[in-house]
Amino acid sequence: MIPEIGHFALIIALFLALCLGVLPIIGAARDNAVLSDTARPLAYGQFVLLAIAFLCLTYAFVADDFSVLYVAHHSNSQLPVIYKISAVWGGHEGSLLLWAFLLGGWILAVAVYSKHLPGEMVARVLGVMGLVSVGFLLFMLLTSNPFDRLLPAAADGRDLNPLLQDPGLVIHPPMLYMGYVGFSVAFAFAIAALLGGRLDATWARWSRPWTTVAWVFMTAGISIGSWWAYYELGWGGWWFWDPVENASFMPWLIGTALIHSLAVTEKRGAFKSWTVLLAIAAFSLSLLGTFLVRSGVLTSVHSFAADPKRGIFILSFLVVVIGASLLLFAWRAPKIGLGGKFDLLSREALLLSNNVLLSVATASVFIGTLYPLFMDALGYGKLSVGPPYFEAVFVPLIVPMVLMMGLGPLARWKKFALPELAKRVRWAFASALLIALLLPLTMGEWSAMIALGLLLAFWIIATMILSLHERLGGHGNFMQRARGQSLSYYGTQVAHLGVAIFIIGVTLVSGYETERDVRMDVGDTLQAGGYEFRFNGVTDVQGPNYTAAKGRVSVSKNGKPVTELFPEKRQYHTSGMPMTEAAISTGFLGDLYVSLGEPIPGSTGAWAVRVYIKPFVDWIWAGTLLMGLGGVLAVSDRRYRMRRRTTTNILAAGSK
């Protein structure tokens, strides 16, 4: 009964989405307030129904209803409850429902937090989002219904893929999807502005916080995914340039460009058509990611089971949504005005140059990811594009990007003089260079790549200190001046600091990591990176739905115990899949990472053990955390909260 309620809720939600996609847009076009005003109630209704559908599926999982095909395929009665809940989005159909539910949530949020916007704009924005929702609900109901019954019911489920039975994977997909789906708000604002023909700085101001929030979610989602890969896959890598990772990286890069481009558009009313194009591109790339993951056109470790019918559906959906928006863009963009004046040397120009670099970076990820497909389609044979390509292309793009990142926040709006700016930053550059050249000497072998990485990182840090000094330094009340700075100023600095911390992590871990692959008898010790690892053997332990061989490794440094690590080798009961659970001791200066290989045949308790020492690896995620925090600070800026009051004031003043 419950699954049928869920199915029915989805059908009604589709109907409401259809109304939401049609009525308010017609209303806005015909100046019909009655039609326009249907947008909010429809948005609320749709959200309620999607929430019901989502809860129904969650209930089916928690209640072990194996008469639901999707539940039977992705759960098991032995599965811990938390993973039963996260199994809702552990497969294709359910993750699609999560996507639709989150989209409903974003639509609701826009409906609630848009009271200060003109009714016509709200009607169009919600209408466009409604149309997107129609596409996903149709897709789900026609090709991927999560509520399909399995009759007779299975005695027990096939279990959730053990790789996904992990806390990281409980939150990674919702976060990432919040980001993907969140870009639909910026997209809807852009389309609404194109439809209405009123594309001005106010539009940029309205869509800016939404874009930033989506970007923050996406940053968090990607970082959690990368962190999960690091501790779960067992060989200590954190980014593999896999097509699915790239599919999330592309909208992130374009989203980053969009945030910066919106700044120029809001401030100067300039490059509006470019900003609109980026807003369309960010969401289009989110949709493209869905296509790549779910259609089976590319091989990936993460992709869902491929089904050509689904592929055709998503592709048609892509063509309709993206094709129509780009045509609308081609039609309306030429009429967009130029905006305010600024010089070739200005903060605006620096922001736009970064836009060019970010777009080119996105394009190169795009080319690299899809090149095998292009070659195959043209009959030039198969080839692979992997990490060496992306690394070779990325480094030359990142260097100028980071150099400008340091200058951007220091440069004047409208116009700056190069000699003056150069004079201001000369000490910052000199100190960054000095640290970059000397620091590697204290850590081990000196190499040009490490020095370059550190130069970039310390350049950001040095210019940040310079900027803070210029704004907060001098005589008088420091606290007052510190409070006087806007939150978005601090947001920028924190996010940029995050990039610096990230670069330090990447540079040092790839430069100075130690890896040992050894055979360890019980009691054997291993000297690596100044630590002594002692293998104390393996015991069998029972997990809720697996049996594990749990190793005990004690680590000491100069004879003093540091920590104990318990790497596991698990065997899941239902799937029989072996899983390596690495044990990691996380530290400010780096991680000790131990994972169990296989028992050595013919020995008494000896195992193959892999030991990694990963200096500064956590700085990678600390960096992304700071980037996200910067975004949060920027959104909290009172400018956006102010807006609501001033608009109401203006409206109140107008009505008097």
Pair of tokens at residue 165: 């039975």
Site mask for another protein (CB under 8 A), range 582-621, x = bound: ---------------x------xxx-xx------------
User: Contact with another protein (CB under 8 A): which of 81, 312, 422, 430?
Assistant: 312
Which of the ranges 40-48, 85-93, 105-113, 520-528 carries the binding residues for another protein, by CB under 8 A? 520-528
Pair of tokens at residue 263: 């700044």
Torsion-angle region of residue 604: left (phi > 0), alpha (psi -120 to 50) or beta?
A: beta
User: Contact with another protein (CB under 8 A): which of 447, 547, 586, 646?
Assistant: 646
Partners of 578 in the β-ladder: 571
Q: How far apart are CA 568 and CA 117, in angstroms?
A: 55
Q: What is the DSSP string of 63-103?
A: TT-TTBHHHHHH--TTS-HHHHHHGGGSSHHHHHHHHHHHH
Residues contacting 422, CB < 8 A, separation 6+: none
Between residues 333 and 439, which has the closer beta carbon with respect to another protein? 333
Partners of 528 in the β-ladder: 531
CB of residue 462 to another protein, shortest distance in Å = 18
Does 363 sit near another protein (CB under 8 A)? Answer: yes
Which of the ranges 18-26, 27-35, 74-82, 481-489 carries the binding residues for another protein, by CB under 8 A? 481-489
Q: Nearest 5°: CA angle at 293, between 292 and 295?
A: 65
Residues contacting 534, CB < 8 A, separation 6+: 523, 524, 525, 526, 553, 554, 555, 556
CB of residue 14 to another protein, shortest distance in Å = 25
Pair of tokens at residue 355: 């836009």
Q: How far apart are CA 292 and CA 348, in angstroms?
A: 35
Does 356 sit near another protein (CB under 8 A)? Answer: yes
CB of residue 540 to another protein, shortest distance in Å = 16
Which of the ranges 78-86, 92-100, 297-305, 627-635 carries the binding residues for another protein, by CB under 8 A? 297-305
DSSP state of 495: H
User: Contact with another protein (CB under 8 A): which of 22, 150, 154, 333?
Assistant: 333
Specify whether the CB–CB gap between 400 and 456 falls below 8 A. no
User: Contact with another protein (CB under 8 A): which of 10, 134, 297, 635?
Assistant: 297
Q: How far apart are CA 585 and CA 592, in angstroms?
A: 5
Tell me the one-letter amino acid at 164. Answer: L
User: Contact with another protein (CB under 8 A): which of 219, 295, 493, 507?
Assistant: 295
Does 573 sit near another protein (CB under 8 A)? Answer: no
Partners of 516 in the β-ladder: 611
Which of the ranges 167-175, 180-188, 366-374, 438-446 carries the binding residues for another protein, by CB under 8 A? 366-374
Between residues 124 and 267, which has the closer beta carbon with respect to another protein? 267
User: Contact with another protein (CB under 8 A): which of 80, 444, 523, 561?
Assistant: 523
Between residues 37 and 200, which has the closer beta carbon with respect to another protein? 200
Does 118 sit near another protein (CB under 8 A)? Answer: no
For the chain, the first-to-last Cα distance in angstroms comes to 56
DSSP state of 319: I
Tell me the three state secondary structure of residue 429.
helix
Between residues 324 and 438, which has the closer beta carbon with respect to another protein? 324
User: Contact with another protein (CB under 8 A): which of 1, 34, 155, 384?
Assistant: 384
Give the footprint of another protein on residues 123-182 (CB under 8 A): none
Between residues 44 and 489, which has the closer beta carbon with respect to another protein? 489
CB of residue 363 to another protein, shortest distance in Å = 5
CB of residue 465 to another protein, shortest distance in Å = 15
Between residues 178 and 222, which has the closer beta carbon with respect to another protein? 222
CB of residue 276 to another protein, shortest distance in Å = 11
Between residues 59 and 413, which has the closer beta carbon with respect to another protein? 413
Between residues 412 and 573, which has the closer beta carbon with respect to another protein? 412
Contacts 24+ apart (CB under 8 A), 318-327: 318/284, 318/287, 318/288, 318/291, 320/135, 321/131, 321/132, 321/135, 321/284, 321/287, 322/280, 322/284, 322/287, 325/187, 325/190, 325/191, 325/194, 325/280, 325/284, 326/280
Phi and psi of 556, rounded to 5°? Answer: -135, 160
Does 485 sit near another protein (CB under 8 A)? Answer: yes
Does 41 sit near another protein (CB under 8 A)? Answer: no
Specify whether the CB–CB gap between 187 and 279 falls below 8 A. yes
CB of residue 51 to another protein, shortest distance in Å = 33
User: Contact with another protein (CB under 8 A): which of 315, 399, 443, 577?
Assistant: 315
| 3-class secondary structure per residue, 391-410 | HHHHHHHHHHHHHHHHHHHH
Peptide bond into 152 cis (omega under 30): yes
Does 478 sit near another protein (CB under 8 A)? Answer: no
Between residues 11 and 422, which has the closer beta carbon with respect to another protein? 422
CB of residue 240 to another protein, shortest distance in Å = 8
Does 338 sit near another protein (CB under 8 A)? Answer: yes
User: Contact with another protein (CB under 8 A): which of 349, 460, 508, 594?
Assistant: 349
Between residues 389 and 446, which has the closer beta carbon with respect to another protein? 389
User: Contact with another protein (CB under 8 A): which of 31, 151, 152, 381?
Assistant: 381
Specify whether the CB–CB gap between 553 and 583 falls below 8 A. yes
User: Contact with another protein (CB under 8 A): which of 284, 463, 493, 624?
Assistant: 284
Q: How far apart are CA 56 and CA 70, in angstroms?
A: 13
Contacts 24+ apart (CB under 8 A), 372-378: 372/298, 373/297, 373/298
User: Contact with another protein (CB under 8 A): which of 403, 468, 526, 632?
Assistant: 526
Instruction: Give the residue from 610, 608, 606, 611 showing the smallest Cα distance to 598.
Output: 608
Which of the ranges 222-230, 451-459, 534-542, 560-568 carries the binding residues for another protein, by CB under 8 A? 534-542
The sign of the dihedral angle between the CA atoms of 443, 445, 446, 450 is negative
Give the footprint of another protein on residues 190-249 (CB under 8 A): 198, 200-202, 205, 235, 237, 240, 242-243
Give the footprint of another protein on residues 449-468 (CB under 8 A): none
**Exposure class string for 135-174: b at 16+ Cβ within 10 A, else e:** bbbebbeebbbbbebeeeebeebebbbbbbbbebbbebbb
Between residues 423 and 441, which has the closer beta carbon with respect to another protein? 423
**Exposure class string for 458-487: b at 16+ Cβ within 10 A, else e:** bbbbbbbebbbeeeeeeeeeeeeeeeeeeb
How many residues belong to the site for another protein (CB under 8 A)? Answer: 121
Give the footprint of another protein on residues 392-421 (CB under 8 A): 392-393, 396-397, 410-413, 416
Does 564 sit near another protein (CB under 8 A)? Answer: no
Q: Nearest 5°: CA angle at 613, between 608 and 615?
A: 165
Does 561 sit near another protein (CB under 8 A)? Answer: no
